[in-house]
């Protein structure tokens, strides 16, 4: 140690190691884990999609793009794609709008506001199996609470699982109930970082709460809105647990007796774990990846454009 109490600067090989090697060693664990559990399965799935691969018998030969050609001529694939996009739109758009409004309410002075903020996260921590079980009972055809309430006002009972639109609505309600509070807390956290001076200035200028919300709050949380839109898009297009558990016709992934609410992930599950066709299900997985990426990029561009006011 030097007389002044400071340590001498490191020189030579040790200094070079700290500047050139140490940073890479610090970030290496993430890339190692990602390579083993992310990149390798992704590339291996691509390899399997080019083969006639049976889940039990294994590789039965290289077929090239034959699985993809068969997939794009399969009417059940387009049915699953339509169901996926429909449920995604019915659940994601109202969910994010409701989360934005709920966050605005929670940001105002409230009694026991910590309890209210914690309560909105409860649906997200409840087991998805429990959620599906409860909502399956609520939307039951004969003794469901929803049909009982409809009967009070003179509406005949609805068989929610046998009709495409009603099944999509029921599944979307489950998704909305489970994820609205989570997104609301993300928006709320972003709102807390907006400078109070902006709101004080808008009040002095005579701006209404509605005008302040759309001119200050929404632009101020634009990065969080973009994040929730992208993650909700990816999650919505990969929806599996809710419709699978809502399916009363069985556990083979058909999504109702007439495939009324079979999503792409359920279609993948049907071919991979009911028909044991790993090559075909791997092709579905890669198409689903492409669809999710396309929707995420489109949503990202739209949200940025709307939030910037262009």
Q: Which of 240, 229, 283, 284 is nearest to 262 (CA)?
A: 240
Q: Is there a domain that residue 66 lies in?
A: no
**pTM for the complete prediction?**
0.83
Answer whether residue 221 is part of any domain.
yes
pLDDT of residue 44: 92
CATH code for position 231: 1.10.3720.10
Which residues, other chains included, contact 168 with Cβ-Cβ below 8 Å and sequence gap of 6+? 83, 86, 87, 90, 260, 261
Instruction: Please report the pLDDT score of residue 253 as a whole number.
Output: 66
Which residues span the domain enclosing 138? 74-308
Residue 60 in domain: no
- The answer as to whether 238 is a domain residue is yes
Name the residue with tokens 């030579």.
12
Residue 61 domain flag: no
In a domain, 58, yes or no: no
- Tally of structural domains, the chain: 1
CB 237 within 8 A of CB 82: no
Q: Measuring CA to CA, which residue among 165, 234, 166 is closest to residue 157?
A: 166
Residue 113 lies inside a defined structural domain of this protein: yes
Q: Average pLDDT per run of 10 along the chain, which is 310 residues long?
A: 52 68 85 90 91 85 91 93 93 93 87 83 84 84 84 85 89 91 92 86 82 86 88 89 77 76 91 90 92 83 66
In this predicted structure, what is the pLDDT of residue 249? Answer: 56
In a domain, residue 57? The reply is no
């Amino acid at each position: 140690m030097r007389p002044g109490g400071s340590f001498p600067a490191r020189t030579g090989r040790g200094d070079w190691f700290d500047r050139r090697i140490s940073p890479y060693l610090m970030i290496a664990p993430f890339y190692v884990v990602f390579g083993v559990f992310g990149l390798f399965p992704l590339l291996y799935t691509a390899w399997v999609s080019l083969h006639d691969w049976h889940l039990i018998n294994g590789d039965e030969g290289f077929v090239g793009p034959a699985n993809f050609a068969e997939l794009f001529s399969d009417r059940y694939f387009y049915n699953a794609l339509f169901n996926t996009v429909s449920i995604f739109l019915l659940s994601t758009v109202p969910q994010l709008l409701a989360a934005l409004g709920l966050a605005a309410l929670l940001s105002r002075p409230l009694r026991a506001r910590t309890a209210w903020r914690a309560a909105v996260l409860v649906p997200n921590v409840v087991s998805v199996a429990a959620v599906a079980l409860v909502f399956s009972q609520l939307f039951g055809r004969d003794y469901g609470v929803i049909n009982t309430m409809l009967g009070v006002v003179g509406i005949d009972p609805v068989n929610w699982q046998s009709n495409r639109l009603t099944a999509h609505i029921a599944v979307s309600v489950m998704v909305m109930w489970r994820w609205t509070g989570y997104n609301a807390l993300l928006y709320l956290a972003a709102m807390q970082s907006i400078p109070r001076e902006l709101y004080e200035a808008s009040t002095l200028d005579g701006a209404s709460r509605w005008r302040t919300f759309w001119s200050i709050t929404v632009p101020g949380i634009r990065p969080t809105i973009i994040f929730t839109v992208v993650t909700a898009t990816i999650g919505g297009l990969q929806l599996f647990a809710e419709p699978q558990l809502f399916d009363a016709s069985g556990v083979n992934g058909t999504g109702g007796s007439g495939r009324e609410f079979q999503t792409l992930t359920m279609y993948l599950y049907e071919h991979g774990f009911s028909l044991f066709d790993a090559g075909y299900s791997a092709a579905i997985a890669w198409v689903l990846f492409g669809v999710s990426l396309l929707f995420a990029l489109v949503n990202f561009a739209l949200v940025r454009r709307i939030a910037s006011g262009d």
